[in-house]
């Protein structure tokens, strides 16, 4: 039996919904992100407790056991995951959410007596299955369990059209008949559609895919709210779907490309190629001591962090270097590209972990006009987001993507492990510019050497 009266249930659902909205507002800025995350978690806790106290639940021991197993698995994984693996974790949790929505819809098919109810079931199953399978492929690409290059096979566009047409036809049959057999076929076709949707995506486009699949999961959860007759699920899923859709569009705009071009560009050769060929062209290399002198006697330095910084776990060292330079009177800021790293906000989270002040972070539009007045740009583990090919090479897969205009600075120093290209797989002409020098090695190790040399200047 339910403990809460309907009025109290509605009030607590309203409180949870407001928490979710405030959480999204908080997550819109690095300064308020932690508070927003805490508010969202509190809202989720209120929602779960309200369901237990207001619904006529059956199989409570099994429900509690499932929650305990999920908690036992998720908490250690979330606490131990490395910062470089955070995009994989986000994609994994997102896929699990979509898969859970699809499974709930399958179980509720027998309780949906009318066509509108079965239509909501079909939508939840299809979109949830696409999100689950697509997220699984994304995790595989990010973890390099499968190639990060676009994976294509002859006739793939035709197969994709056939699968989507089959899914829509099968969905119509589920709505018409309510058959569990057709529902199973729809689930399989949804999984196949998710695989075919993400396999052709490669290189620097992965952050966009994570955001898009997050929107898919939100829409699936919203539809599951209709299936279960739960208003809060409908509200929460709609919030996630809408925010994920907006984020996807904003990120695609930041890359100067359309979402369709990102998802299906490989079919016409327009996606990131993902080459891993090492360049043998000559470059000007430098020592940590020389870089320290350049930085220590500059008036203004801009640091561009990238995925290589996260891989090396050099965020604390680069923060210490920025502090040491500031103590010498050098004006130091960090330039953040919206798609740097492997997921939206990756660099913001990384630098926040090292307690880099938010006031030191500059977004792309804000910092680009300042590069002409910058003495040195220190690029740490970034490549594609500063590659001039995005502006000068119409045939480049990243052509049209807004970049950090570091080429306008007086001097550019790259910290790189090797001459391997970035995630987009294309060579960076800036590496061969006369104003550019390279310091090869692990980013954290190189930063430590530069920091030590700066301290003894």
* Alpha-carbon Rg for the chain in angstroms: 25
- Give the strand order in the sheet containing 436-440: 361-363, 331-336, 300-305, 376-380, 411-416, 436-440
Rounded to whole angstroms, how far apart are CA atoms 59 and 45?
20
Six-digit token string for 114: 């009318």
* Chain length of the chain: 457
Helix axes 86-108, 206-228, angle to 10 degrees: 30
Please check whether residue 174 is in contact with residue 105, taking contact to mean a CB–CB distance below 8 angstroms: no
**What are residue 303's phi and psi, to 5 degrees?**
-105, 130
What gap in Å lies between CA 40 and CA 274, rounded to an integer? 37
Query: Kind and range of the H or E element at 392?
Result: helix 389-392
Distance CA 6, CA 14 (A): 12
Q: Which two tokens stand for residue 227?
A: 């299936």
Instruction: Find, among 353, 354, 414, 361, the residue nearest to 384 by Cα.
Output: 414
The owner of tokens 């009177």 is 329
Q: Is the dihedral of CA 54, 59, 61, 64 positive or negative?
A: negative
**Annotated catalytic residue within 331, 384, 433, 442:** 384
Helix pair 315-327, 346-353: axis angle to 10 deg? 70
- If one counts every other C-beta atom within 10 angstroms of the C-beta of residue 115, the result is 10
**Rounded to whole angstroms, how far apart are CA atoms 198 and 202?**
8
Q: Are 373 and 333 in contact (CB under 8 A)?
A: no
Question: Catalytic residue at 384?
Answer: yes
Q: What is the Cα 62 distance to its own chain's centre?
A: 33
User: 439 with 291: CB under 8 angstroms?
Assistant: yes
Integer Cα distance of 13 and 238 in angstroms: 15
Q: Tokens 């919030």 sit at which residue?
A: 239
Contacts of 421 (CB under 8 A, 6+ apart): 275, 276, 277, 279, 383, 427, 428
SS3 content of the chain, % helix, strand, coil (to 5): 65, 5, 30
Task: Provide the annotated active-site residues.
Answer: 384
């Amino acid at each position: 039996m339910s403990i809460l009266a309907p009025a109290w249930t509605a009030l607590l659902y309203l409180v949870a919904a407001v928490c979710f909205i405030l959480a999204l507002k908080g997550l819109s800025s690095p300064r308020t992100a932690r508070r927003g995350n805490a508010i969202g978690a509190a809202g989720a806790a209120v929602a779960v407790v309200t369901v237990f106290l207001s619904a006529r639940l059956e199989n409570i021991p099994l429900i509690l056991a499932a929650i305990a197993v999920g908690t036992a698995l998720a908490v250690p994984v979330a606490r131990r995951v490395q910062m470089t693996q955070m995009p994989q974790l986000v994609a994994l949790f997102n896929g699990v959410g979509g898969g859970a929505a699809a499974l709930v819809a399958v179980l509720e098919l027998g309780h949906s007596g009318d066509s509108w109810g079965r239509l909501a079931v079909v939508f939840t199953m299809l979109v949830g299955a696409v999100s689950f399978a697509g997220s699984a492929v994304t995790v595989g690409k990010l973890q390099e369990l499968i190639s990060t290059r676009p994976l294509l096979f002859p006739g793939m566009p035709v197969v994709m059209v056939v699968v989507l047409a089959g899914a829509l036809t099968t969905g119509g049959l589920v709505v018409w008949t309510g058959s569990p057999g057709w529902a199973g076929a729809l689930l399989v076709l949804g999984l196949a559609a998710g695989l075919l949707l993400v396999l052709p995506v490669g290189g620097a486009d992965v952050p966009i895919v994570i955001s898009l699949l997050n929107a898919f999961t939100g829409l699936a959860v919203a539809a599951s709210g209709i299936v279960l007759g739960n208003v809060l699920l409908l509200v929460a899923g709609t919030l996630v779907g809408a925010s994920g859709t907006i984020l996807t569009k904003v990120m695609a705009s930041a890359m100067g490309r359309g979402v369709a071009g990102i998802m299906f560009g490989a079919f016409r050769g327009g996606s990131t190629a993902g080459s891993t060929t090492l360049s043998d062209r000559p470059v000007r290399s430098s020592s940590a001591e020389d870089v320290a002198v350049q930085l220590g006697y500059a008036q203004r330095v801009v640091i561009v962090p990238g995925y290589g910084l996260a891989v090396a776990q050099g965020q604390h060292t680069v923060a210490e270097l920025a502090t040491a330079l500031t103590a010498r009177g050098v004006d130091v800021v960090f330039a953040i590209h919206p798609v740097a790293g492997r997921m939206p906000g990756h660099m913001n989270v990384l630098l926040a972990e090292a307690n880099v002040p938010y006031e030191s972070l500059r977004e792309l539009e804000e910092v680009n006009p300042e590069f002409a007045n910058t003495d040195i740009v220190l690029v740490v583990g970034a490549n594609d987001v500063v590659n001039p090919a995005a502006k000068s090479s119409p045939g480049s897969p990243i052509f049209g993507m807004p970049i950090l205009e570091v080429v306008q600075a007086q001097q550019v120093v790259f910290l790189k492990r090797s001459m391997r290209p970035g995630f987009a797989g294309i060579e960076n002409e800036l590496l061969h510019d006369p104003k550019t020098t390279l310091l090869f090695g692990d980013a954290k190790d190189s930063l430590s050497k530069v920091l030590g040399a700066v301290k003894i200047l």
